Amino acid sequence: MRSNIILNYYNYCKNNNNLPTKNEIFYWLNIIFTKKNIKKVEITISIVKKNIIQKLNKKYLKISKPTNVLSFLLENNFLKKTLLGDIILCKEIIEYESILQKKTFKLHYTHIIIHSVLHLLKYKHKNFYEANLMELKEINILKLLGHKNPYL
């Protein structure tokens, strides 16, 4: 079964180096949504600079510092289309984390996007059980995409 995915992908950074392509992200999403048996979904992914994600983090989460990613769940079944939500990625932080964690940019972007989509699918990591369940889902999806366990 193939998912019917609408991906709105925006890059608000001047430098396009190291960013995943829309086709790569679309492929990752297709694996996730097919595995979860989700047939129709619309999602928006935006790449922004640190100052923008810091403003969004302060406005919506009352945290006055930049972060690597924000996920906003939007549930809407209007016209048989599921508007899942928005993911905002911070290019500078994700690439800095990649270097610190000795991961490729592509692997880290893949992992962060999978993690964020799982949040939109209502997975959480507020306690040990939830964190382990979410981590296992991430690892399994990354394996399907040909990546190793990012937690090792």
Cβ atoms 142, 110 nearer than 8 A: yes
pTM (predicted TM-score): 0.90
pLDDT, tens digit only, all 152 positions of the chain = 455 888 999 999 988 899 999 999 999 999 888 877 777 888 999 999 999 999 999 999 999 999 999 999 886 655 555 778 999 999 999 999 999 999 999 999 999 999 999 999 989 999 999 999 999 999 999 999 998 887 76
85 class by beta-carbon count within 10 Å (0-12 exposed, 13-18 middle, 19+ buried): buried
In this predicted structure, what is the pLDDT of residue 65? Answer: 96
- Which segments within 12-137 are labelled E, that is strand? 40-48, 69-73, 83-90
> 4-144 has which CATH code?
3.40.390.30
pLDDT tens digits for 37-60?
777 888 999 999 999 999 999 999
As a dihedral over the C-alpha atoms of residue 60, residue 67, residue 87, residue 117, rounded to 10 degrees, the angle is -110
In this predicted structure, what is the pLDDT of residue 1? Answer: 46
